[in-house]
Structure 1
Amino acid sequence: MSGLNNKAYQKHLTSSRDLETSYEAVRAGFIAMALEKNRRATPYIDGARALRHQIATVNNPDHLLPMQEIEAALLTAAGLSDKAQKHLQPDDKKRAIEHLINEFLRPAGDTFAEELVFRFLLFRGDALGGTMRNLAGALAQRKVTRTIMAILSNAGLRYKWQDGRSGKWFTQSDADVEIDQTLRGLSWQHPKGFRTMLYNFTPPIVKNNVDMCLLHCAPEHIATTAASATAYLALGELKGGIDPAGADEHWKTARAALNRIRDTFAAANATPHLFFIGAAIEQRMADEIWADLSAGRLSNAANLTNDHQLTAIAQWLCSL
């Protein structure tokens, strides 16, 4: 299915200006991220508060070493991640804690308890930063998913969804309230056959991860169908970062990926639709996206922060 001469984007875009992210959307995006960061930080704060109470009666840092009930917290304060701790033997853990005590807690004197809690929070905060770097993409995927699910539900179309943790497919039910948090794929019945949307999928022909892939096959046929270039109806890049400072780099990465996808499928005599959805779209970036749309290099595009545009592109995907 060719993306050339496809003017679906004109239903929700009249010029490149429509693609630009407004100041209000940027502000709302930053606030949403801050609120989510605070929500996700709560368990770390609770952990630090509990640690402080657990060592309230300890008056010597050397007495911390045999306290098995806080061993994991001590290892965290020593700079070891949860993943690293799983690979350590008991003697290795003991040496790490001894190093923490000798190098940092003893020199702190009477304030060693505060020093321990501060270090615990420091390294827990580093772990939080890692999860937050992936948060924008996860939130963007969830927003797109909820919109597609709404389009399908409004049309009376039932869907199946794939759990990203188990890989299993489940039939739509009334308990699907928070499935977007772990969902990796959606599938529904189209008048022309089954449609399956996969997130973060690597088509064998591309050999690189693609944010969104729409195939015309049922979930149970993905393994045998995905190798065929003609199985793909649309492939797209989704960038959820809201920071304008990183918008241009995100677009460069996405554009390079889309160009690679286009060339790869063209070599296989296939021309699936290509699309882009982004949260932070600056003027120059919007001009380039519009140029690609006008030239047929892109079939569709939308600003993630604009509900009208997101609904329009989701409806377009469901109609392919």
Structure 2
Amino acid sequence: MHLCVEKTLMTTDKPYYQHLNSSDDLVTPYAAVRAGFVALALEKNRRATPFVEQARVLKAAASRIKTPMELVGIEDIKPALLTAAGVSDKAAKYLEPQNKIAAIRGLIENFLEPAGANFIEKLVFRFLLIRGDTLGGSMRNVGGVLAQRKLTRMLLSTLTVAGKSYQWLHSSMNRWASMTDEDSDIELYLKGLSWKNNDQNRTLIYNLTVPFIKNNVDLCLLNCSPQELATKKLAKATYKLPSVYLALGELKGGIDPAGADEHWKTARSALQRINQAFITHGLKPSTFFIGAAIEKKMAGEIWHQLEEGSLTNAANLTNDDQLASISRWLCRL
């Protein structure tokens, strides 16, 4: 009986004991790294699909002509021609019509006409090459996006299993929506989640620039309702209150072991800034770290911070049991 009470007190005071026995439990196994790379490859293919379809449309339109210079007269493919010419969507907004025509003519004279009868294939290849560069840029933070989706789905599942209703903030419409029976894919659009714990409002906001820290924090759990964040003015006033923050965390979804140490250094610095900012206000909210790529030395540092109390909780994103445990902890705060 005494041992049972002692363990309950320990796991309440140190919630990471619910899913971690030592620093070794935080280390990402090889199988998880391999699965992570596969997930990134699948996501890259998913994101590439629209570009491939655009290339097919471009090829079909260009197939109606016999010479490259005739492309200039096809009005509905000019944006695609500009892309093939190396002009980004952002740059195109600053160009005058004559500049756009000049860029397209440059593409035709320097690359398509020298290709002879194969000019259509050359056009499609160049279009895909430039779009591929765009895709590469969007993939740089895809690990973080996938990590946020995975954590969100675990939080939603935790609340549903516990019989708790929730509201969620739509990233595009910037509007709070109520829980429904059909919640598939809402993690693709969710940037905030709210629920009640013992009649107390809890709201989790992703990627928030905390005013008195002056830096972006990946995850902020607040003691407030969605109504207190309903307008920009209300949200701004709420975010300025140090006392409203219950927990703040860093989420690093990159799976490449080569970048693990760098991700942890960034997160460690962010967590130190968080702690320091709240100390000046006489407060100590919970802090936590969730990472996909955690190497042995890094795991040792995280475990040390957990044991000394500068970090409240931590989990490996690739371990479903750990992620479920830290999600339950967040939902119970």
Please confirm whether the aligned pair reaches a TM-score higher than 0.5, indicating the same fold. Answer: yes
Q: CA deviation at 1:284?
A: 0.9
Paired residues of 1:247 and 1:281 also in contact (CA < 8 A): yes
Q: Compute the displacement of 1:109 (Å).
A: 2.6
**Which amino acid in the other structure matches residue 260 of structure 1?**
R
Among 256, 261, 285, the residue aligned to 2:274? 261
For residue 281 of structure 1, give the secondary structure of its aligned residue in structure 2. Answer: coil
1:128 to 119, 124, 135: 135
- Alignment pair present for 1:199 and 2:199: no
Decide whether the 8 Å contact of 1:140 with 1:238 is kept in 2.
Answer: yes
- Residue identity in the other structure for 1:289: I
Q: Which residue of 2 aligns with 1:226?
A: 239
Question: Quick check: 1:184 aligned with 2:187?
Answer: no
Check 1:57–1:192 CA distance in 2 against 1; reply closer, same or farther (3 A cut). closer
Corresponding residue for residue 9 of structure 2? none
Runs of 4+ in 1 over 3 A off after TM superposition: none
Q: CA deviation at 1:135?
A: 1.5
Gaps of 5+ in 2: 1-11, 230-234
CA-to-partner distance for each residue in 1:201-260, whole Å, 9 max, x for gaps? 111111111000000010121423221111100000000111111111111111111111
SS of the residue corresponding to residue 255 of structure 1 reads: helix
Q: Relative contact order: is structure 1 or structure 2 higher (C-alpha 8 Å, sep ≥ 6)?
A: 1
1:299 corresponds to? 312
CA distance in 2, matches of 1:192, 1:290: 33
Amino acid at match of 1:144: L
Check if 1:150 corresponds to 2:163: no
Unaligned 5+ segments in structure 1 are none
| Alpha-carbon distance in structure 1 between the residues aligned to 2:34 and 2:169 | 33
Q: 1:120 corresponds to which letter in structure 2?
A: F
Quote how far apart the aligned CAs of 1:192 are.
5.1
TM-score normalised according to structure 2 size:
0.92
- Per-residue displacement from partner, 1:151-203 (whole Å, max 9, x unpaired)? 11111110010011121111111232211101000001111510000000111
**Given residue 204 of structure 1, which amino acid in structure 2 is its aligned partner?**
P
Partner of 1:288: 301
Q: What corresponds to 1:166 in structure 2?
A: 173
Work out the CA distance in 2 between the residues paired with 1:81 and 1:254: 33
Counterpart-to-counterpart distance in 2, 1:316 and 1:54: 56
CA distance in 2, matches of 1:218, 1:88: 46
Counterpart in 2 of 1:235?
248
Q: Secondary structure at the match of 1:277?
A: strand
Matched, 1:44 2:51: yes
Deviations 1:254-282 (A, max 9, x none): 11111111111111111111100000101
Task: Give the fraction of aligned pairs with identical amino acids, expressed as a percent.
Answer: 56
Q: Say which SS state the counterpart of residue 32 (structure 1) adopts.
A: helix
Greater shift in the superposed pair: 191-200 or 168-177: 168-177
Give the conservation status (yes or no) of the 8 Å contact 1:6–1:296. no
Distance 1:148 1:117 in 2: 43
Q: Distance in 2 between matches of 1:175 and 1:157?
A: 15
AA matched with 2:211: P
> Aligned partners of 1:29 and 1:189: how far apart in 2?
33
Note the C-alpha offset of 1:299: 0.1
**Which residue of structure 1 lines up, in the alignment, with residue 30 of structure 2?**
23
- 8 Å CA contact 1:19–1:303 kept in 2: the answer is yes
How many Å separate the matches in 1 of 2:327 and 2:64?
Answer: 58
Q: Cα offset for 1:121?
A: 0.5
CA RMSD of aligned residues (A): 1.3
Find the residue that maps to 2:309 and give its secondary structure.
coil
